[in-house]
């Protein structure tokens, strides 16, 4: 039986002694604590050298590498020399492998969790290798070494600064023979604690030893991800009490007893009969594979997972919105209109600022989202009066602000997502992923249409079956129209596709029938669409008519649900007012899951948001930090995908909006009553036959019919 002893400068209260099998060998494993007494540690090394097959050193100052420089700790080297021919290690080689393995595995498994995260290293010199890997995912790194070690009131922000610091500080620090794991030349409690607490509180991820983490309270650690090592069940519970959401334990625990990496590395040396420097990465790869080891991703609080972050750009929708801002509220009451016009122009040039922080969004999956609504000052009038580049610059400034805040994705709202090429240029130049939200806007509109039809109760809807009715998409060959057509084809028995682009209609029909072979498709041009419009139970208008009359609403069936997803709208308010027995929908608003906290954005319920904002939040909860919806071409697969993702994360349809705002239950009841009355008694205006069909009918008429028509 092989024997491994870990000699630790930690407390003897954590000592253990157990037997196990490891790598085909029987082992007796012991830990002996020296209680911060370096002389006792030296005595223990002398005692066990020659008696043990491997020695581990715990809670000692580790040798470290920063950049290309290797820094050796004098006291630790003394203990290593005392071991003589007995293999001895503080676990640094295995630690580097496990740290990188844990970090990269977590990034892949949890959906790019470290993208743009604000990461604080309490000891960057010891964790330089980990920091260099983290730098692949985020630029928001900070290193607290100057505060911890010298009490200096600042942190380091780059790897290069850390390398220079390590080279300059090591000659001084090596002279300090203090007992702490991280040497300090300033009194921690009085000088460092406040500075460090502020740095910890502002970070999203904290890299520190367990003992260092225990210096901070729940307010500082609440919601944090921590990267640490050797987490036992007792330590997990302690971190849970401090509100820590996610723990990455950069150690491997193949035994029932929780052991440090110096123990595992000493056991590997004993089993392979090799010193640490002779054990290759291939040896460790074989060991990890044989033992089927997995990264230790721990959620201390049951049911709660990590918090992801987003930003979303908003802007004042009119001059009236500017009047509601506190600094301008009083001015707007006394200033003449020309002055407020100047204020509106000036606001377009103001730097972006945070309007509100959004917190408390919690998915049923346990993941949470928090974010910031960032204001750019231009009203639609000002945005459209400038060149696209003018708005691009302001959106990129907002993206830089979002990056500094730690957002992992940014959404574009209102007119900011339609300027120029609809987000494509901004996404190319921004430092984080961009989405316009148009996929969920289209999805939300169709969702609202289905819900409206269900609430009207005039159409038979059965779960899992096609809708027994007729639907129409006007503008079916456009980007949004084709996406809506493909989705409706999955649910409707009969679908009419309307577009003046005959060739595109034929191609679209063939494609849809491959995806949804059970649907009946009818193709029409705009000139012929009125032939069937009075039979439709549901109509989607998605054209780029820009003010042209798309359909005659007076010909529509009473109780028809029309979803207008065109921007600008295909049906202006004066057209909608002609048919109070028809429900015309502009959008569907979404209710976020959780206990949402933020300033109002126009809805009485703070958890209700526009679908474009909800898209950014859904992607954040899913960990999909990517350019999702960009440009003017909308992919129907993404419309369907974001809808499914939204359901997974607890999104609900909160409201159905029309040209006059949100429809209440009473509004929908009135439309239903009028529709039923119209269907029973009132006649729907006769449909007009297009001129081409009239000519064909006349040509086919018999002489007798023509004579009778002439006589009449």
pLDDT at 333: 58
Nearest CA to 283 out of 575, 23, 104, 106 is that of: 23
What string of DSSP letters covers 444-479? HHHHHHHHHHHHHT-S---TTS-EEEEEEEETTTSH
pLDDT in tens, 563-621: 998 877 788 899 999 999 999 998 899 999 999 999 988 888 999 999 999 999 999 99
Beta bridge pairs of residue 298: 247
Instruction: Report the distance separating Cα 567 and Cα 347, nearest Å.
Output: 25
pLDDT at 318: 67
What string of DSSP letters covers 104-143? HHHHHHTTSTTTT--EEETTTTTTHHHHHHHTTT-S-EEE
pLDDT at 181: 36
3-state helix, strand, coil in the chain (%, to 5): 45, 20, 40
Give Cα 157 distance to the centre of its chain. 25
User: How far is CA 644 from each of CA 461, 615, 619, 651, 689, rounded to the nearest angstrom?
Assistant: 20, 11, 11, 10, 42
| DSSP 8-state secondary structure symbol assigned to residue 278 | G
b/e burial code for range 355-368 (CB count within 10 A of at least 16 → b)? bbebbbbbbeeebb
pLDDT at 701: 42
- Residues 443 and 435: beta-carbon distance below 8 Å: no
Residues in the chain, how many? 712
3-state secondary structure 172-188: HHCCCCCCCCCCCCCCH
Given strand 652-658, what is the order of strands in its sheet? 608-609, 587-591, 652-658, 661-662
Q: Are strands 561-564 and 538-541 parallel, antiparallel or unpaired?
A: parallel
pLDDT at 682: 56
Nearest CA to 312 out of 650, 533, 599 is that of: 599
pLDDT in tens, 406-424: 999 999 998 888 888 989 9
User: How far is CA 529 from each of CA 583, 594, 668, 669, rounded to the nearest angstrom?
Assistant: 20, 45, 27, 29
Dihedral angle, C-alpha 699, 702, 707, 709, nearest 10 °: -60
What string of DSSP letters covers 402-433? HHHHT-S-EEE-GGGGTSTTTTHHHHHHSSS-
Given strand 54-58, what is the order of strands in its sheet? 17-22, 25-33, 2-8, 54-58, 88-89
Token pair of 175 as six digits: 């002279």
Instruction: Report the distance separating Cα 112 and Cα 106, nearest Å.
Output: 8
pLDDT in tens, 69-107: 999 999 999 999 999 999 999 999 899 999 999 999 999
Token pair of 35 as six digits: 């209680």
**Phi, psi dihedrals of residue 442, rounded to the nearest 5°:** -65, -45
Return the number of other C-beta atoms located less than 10 Å from residue 193's C-beta: 14
What string of DSSP letters covers 306-318? -EEEEEEEE--SS
- Residues 623 and 649: beta-carbon distance below 8 Å: no
Nearest CA to 470 out of 445, 494, 448 is that of: 494
Instruction: Report the distance separating Cα 679 and Cα 348, nearest Å.
Output: 51
Instruction: Report the distance separating Cα 168 and Cα 152, nearest Å.
Output: 14
**Phi, psi dihedrals of residue 608, rounded to the nearest 5°:** -95, 130
Token pair of 233 as six digits: 């069940």
b/e burial code for range 120-158 (CB count within 10 A of at least 16 → b)? bbbbbbbbbbbbebbeebbebbbbbbbbbbbbbeebbee
Instruction: Report the distance separating Cα 438 and Cα 452, nearest Å.
Output: 21
3-state secondary structure 348-410: CCCCCEEEEEEEEEECCCCCEEEEEEEECCCCHHHHHHCCHHHHHHHHHHHHHHHHHHCCCCE
pLDDT in tens, 368-378: 999 999 999 88
CB-count burial class (<10 Å; 0-12, 13-18, 19+) for 643: buried
| Triad 177, 10, 172: Cα angle to 5° | 20
Given strand 492-498, what is the order of strands in its sheet? 520-524, 492-498, 467-474, 538-541, 561-564, 583-585
User: Which residues 6+ apart lie within 8 Å of 236 measured at CB?
Assistant: 247, 298, 300
Residue ranges of the chain with per-residue pLDDT less than 50: 177-188, 527, 684-712
pLDDT at 347: 79
Return the number of other C-beta atoms located less than 10 Å from residue 298's C-beta: 17
Instruction: Report the distance separating Cα 243 and Cα 216, nearest Å.
Output: 11
pLDDT at 183: 43
């Amino acid at each position: 039986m092989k024997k491994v002893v870990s000699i630790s400068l930690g407390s003897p209260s954590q000592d253990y002694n157990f037997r196990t099998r490891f790598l085909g060998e029987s082992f007796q494993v012991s830990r002996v604590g020296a209680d911060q007494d370096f002389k006792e540690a030296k005595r223990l090394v002398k005692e066990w050298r020659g008696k043990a097959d491997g020695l581990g050193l715990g809670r000692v100052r580790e040798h470290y590498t920063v950049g290309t420089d290797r820094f050796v700790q004098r006291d630790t080297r003394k203990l290593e020399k005392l071991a003589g021919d007995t293999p001895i290690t503080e676990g640094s080689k295995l630690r580097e492998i496990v740290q990188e393995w844990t970090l990269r595995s977590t990034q892949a498994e949890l959906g790019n969790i470290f993208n743009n995260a604000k990461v604080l290293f309490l000891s960057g010199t010891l964790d330089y290798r980990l920091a260099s890997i983290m730098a692949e995912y985020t630029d928001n790194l900070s290193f607290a070494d100057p505060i911890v070690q010298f009490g200096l009131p600042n942190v380091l922000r780059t790897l290069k600064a850390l390398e220079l610091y390590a080279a300059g500080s090591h000659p001084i620090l090596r002279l300090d023979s203090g007992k702490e794991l991280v040497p300090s030349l300033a009194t921690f409690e009085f000088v460092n604690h406040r500075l460090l607490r502020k740095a910890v509180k502002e970070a999203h991820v904290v890299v520190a030893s367990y003992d260092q983490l225990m210096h901070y309270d729940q307010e500082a650690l609440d919601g944090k991800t921590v990267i640490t090592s050797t987490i036992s069940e007792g330590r997990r519970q302690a971190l849970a009490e401090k509100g820590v959401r996610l723990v990455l334990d950069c150690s491997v625990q193949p035994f029932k007893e929780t052991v440090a990496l110096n123990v595992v590395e000493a056991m590997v040396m004993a089993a392979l009969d090799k010193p640490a420097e002779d054990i290759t990465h291939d040896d460790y790869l074989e060991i990890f594979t044989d033992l089927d080891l997995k990264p230790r991703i721990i959620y201390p609080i049951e049911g709660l997972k990590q918090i992801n972050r987003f930003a979303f750009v908003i802007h004042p929708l009119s001059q009236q919105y500017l009047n509601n801002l506190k600094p301008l509220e009083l001015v707007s009451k006394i200033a003449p209109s020309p002055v407020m016009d100047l204020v509106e122009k000036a606001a377009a040039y103001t730097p972006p600022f945070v309007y509100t922080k959004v917190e408390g969004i919690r998915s049923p999956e346990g993941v949470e989202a928090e974010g910031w609504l960032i204001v750019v000052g231009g009203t639609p009038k000002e945005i459209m009066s400038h060149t696209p580049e003018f708005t691009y610059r302001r959106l990129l400034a907002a993206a830089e602000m979002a990056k500094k805040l730690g957002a992992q994705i940014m959404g574009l709202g209102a007119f900011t997502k339609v300027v120029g090429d609809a987000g494509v240029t901004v996404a190319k130049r921004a430092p984080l992923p961009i989405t316009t939200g148009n996929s969920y806007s289209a999805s939300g509109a169709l969702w609202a249409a289905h819900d409206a039809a269900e609430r009207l109760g005039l159409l038979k809807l059965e779960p899992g079956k096609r809708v027994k009715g007729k639907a129409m998409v006007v503008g079916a060959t456009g980007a949004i129209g084709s996406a809506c057509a493909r989705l409706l084809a999955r649910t409707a028995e009969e679908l009419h596709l309307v577009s003046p682009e005959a060739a595109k209609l034929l191609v679209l029909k063939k494609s849809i029938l491959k995806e949804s072979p059970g649907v009946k498709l009818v193709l029409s041009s705009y000139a012929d669409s009125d032939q069937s419009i009075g039979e439709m139970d549901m109509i989607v208008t998605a054209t780029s008519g820009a003010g042209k009359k798309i359909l005659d609403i007076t010909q529509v069936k009473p109780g028809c649900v029309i979803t207008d997803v065109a921007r600008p709208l295909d049906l202006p308010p004066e057209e909608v007012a002609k048919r109070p027995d028809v429900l015309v929908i502009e959008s569907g608003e979404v209710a976020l899951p959780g206990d949402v906290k933020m300033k109002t954005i126009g809805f009485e319920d703070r958890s209700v948001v526009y679908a474009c904002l909800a898209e950014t939040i859904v992607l954040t909860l899913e960990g999909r930090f990517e350019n999702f919806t960009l440009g003017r071409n909308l992919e129907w697969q993404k419309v369907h995908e974001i809808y499914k993702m939204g359901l997974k994360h607890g999104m609900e349809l909160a409201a159905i909006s029309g040209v006059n705002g949100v429809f209440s239950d009473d509004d929908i009841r009135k439309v239903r009553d009028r529709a039923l009355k119209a269907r029973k008694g009132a006649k729907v205006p006769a449909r007009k036959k297009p001129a081409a069909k009239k000519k064909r009918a006349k040509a086919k008429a018999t002489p007798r019919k023509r004579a009778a028509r002439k006589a009449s």
